[in-house]
Structure 1
Amino acid sequence: MKIDLHTHAKLSKASDFSQTYYEEMVREAMDNGLHALALTEHFNTRNFDEVYQQLDRMFPYNGEYYDAGGLKIFPGMEVDIRETGHILLIGRKEFILETRRQLNDYTEKGAFIPFDDLMDLAEALPLLKIGAHPFRESTPLHHLDHSQLQRLDAFDLNAKDMYQYGCEANQDQVQRFAAKLGKPVTAGSDTHQCLQYGSVYNELDMPCETVAELKHAILQGAYRLHVSDSLPLQVKASVMLKKLMKQIIRLETAPGIV
């Protein structure tokens, strides 16, 4: 089973969820050979709950994942922590929404939840916890105490960071860091639009029907990381397209523009 463990449904935090836009995302994910993905939308995106309300109308949900025409979409979210850094949480929809409700007072910059408090929330539920892009200059994780980082299940090999810092250099850096902590590394495209799907993914030895099975496979090392030779081109095109789409949206919503 080929799965991308770091994806987004919206172009940006400030944009609204679009059914048409996400249906295009799903088609592109499948065209790139993916069988599953984790939808890790930012926890403080505009109208977070609306994302899952819309998905409920779009696709059947079996208690573990949405079935988008054969593509499994596992619920999740990406959470900012006070110390700086992002944590990916993946689990059943009710657990993700419950955790999000408990973060209502922590959505603003300067008031994010402390790492240890977030881990307390996440460990009370059967969630997969992944440290996102641990060496990204703007939102690193490597500065946290190792005893704190031990509470995570894995670390994110991120397509955006591989493009920015060099594929081999970033992969080696993340792998060595995770190995020191005795943790696995998982791949995530971190895409906000369709062109980045397939740039990196995880190939599991067997299909997973639950997040518990997914977590077990990762902790047991029953998967392989795949990095596409076209990653630099895919991410560069993705960045350029995202910038262009944001400019178009600004023009369309500007006063006096019809």
Structure 2
Amino acid sequence: MNIDLHCHIKLSKKQNFSLNYFQQSIAEATDAGLDAIAMTEHFNTNHYYDIYEQLNEHYPYTKQHYYDINGFKVFPGMEVDVAGGGHILVIGERDSILMLRHMLSPHEEKHSFVDFEQLLDWCDELSLIRFGAHPFRTSNPLIKHSSELLQRLHAFDMNGKDLYTYGEAMIERVEQLSEHIGIPIIAGSDTHHPLQFGAIYNQFPDPINCPSELLKAIQQRQHAIHIAADLTHRVKSASLVKKLLKERGPVESAFL
């Protein structure tokens, strides 16, 4: 089973959610060989709750805690900025994700981002999975935080955008960090545009049917990370089209 664990389903935080864009994104993810994604949209994106209101209206949310998009699994989640730098990917049951989003309401602006330890405590209370996103990204590094806090994460993100930006040396850096802190690595494309799906993803030997199964499989390191030979082409193409679409205005179609 192939899962991308760092996915945005909006072109940018300033865009409103578009069901058409979402549907085209899932179609492209399927074509790229994925079976599921974690929907880790930014917690402070424009009208965050609209995403769930529209998905609830158009798709079933299963007892296993994912949206069934015609057989394709979409697990709820979000990407959260923390004080002191860094982003955390949070994944879990829909109600828990929405509760966390409510708790983060006072922390939407840069000057008031939530304390990292506080976020971890809330994730414990809500039984949420948490991954350290793009830990070495120069513009917003996560590694400034203490080892004690980093050890409370469930994994670090091997990020498709960072592999494109920094090259293969990033693989070794994340692997060394993983060994030092003692937690696994997961793969996430960090896509904002459908063309980037398939650049990097996780391969699990068995189906993943709920967040608890996902966490167990990752902690037991049952997965392998697949990096596409054309990762550079996929990320570059997606970045260029994203830039053009943002310049054009509100997005309804994923492609020009």
The TM-score bracket by the shorter chain reads over 0.9
1: distance between equivalents of 2:224 and 2:70?
A: 25
1:206 alignment counterpart: 206
Trace 1:236-247 onto structure 2 (pairs within 5 A).
Answer: 236-247=236-247
* C-alpha contact 1:76 1:90 (8 A) present in aligned 2: yes
1:180 alignment counterpart: 180
1:154 alignment counterpart: 155
* C-alpha contact 2:193 2:239 (8 A) present in aligned 1: no
2:8 alignment counterpart: 8
- Cα distance, 1:69 vs structure 2: 1.0
1:86 alignment counterpart: 87
| Equivalent pairs, count | 250
1:130 alignment counterpart: 131
Trace 1:18-97 onto structure 2 (pairs within 5 A).
Answer: 18-63=18-63, 64-97=65-98
2: distance between equivalents of 1:91 and 1:69?
A: 20
1:108 alignment counterpart: 109
- Cα distance, 1:58 vs structure 2: 2.2
The residue matched to 2:41 in structure 1 has which SS? strand
1:163 alignment counterpart: 164
Q: Deviations over 1:104-142 (max 9, x none)?
A: 000011110010000010011221110000000111111
* C-alpha contact 2:85 2:144 (8 A) present in aligned 1: no
> Structure 1 runs of 4+ off > 6 angstroms?
none
* C-alpha contact 1:36 1:72 (8 A) present in aligned 2: yes
2: distance between equivalents of 1:209 and 1:183?
A: 22
- Cα distance, 1:212 vs structure 2: 0.3
- The residue identity in structure 1 corresponding to 2:186 is T
Q: Deviations over 1:36-74 (max 9, x none)?
A: 100000000011111111111221111310011111000
State the TM-score, normalized to the length of structure 1: 0.95
Q: Does 2:224 match 1:224?
A: yes
State the TM-score, normalized to the length of structure 2: 0.96
The residue matched to 1:113 in structure 2 has which SS? coil
2: distance between equivalents of 1:146 and 1:54?
A: 39
Structure 1 gaps of 5+ residues are 251-258
State the superposition RMSD in angstroms: 1.1
Structure 2 gaps of 5+ residues are 251-256
1: distance between equivalents of 2:172 and 2:24?
A: 33
- Cα distance, 1:151 vs structure 2: 0.6
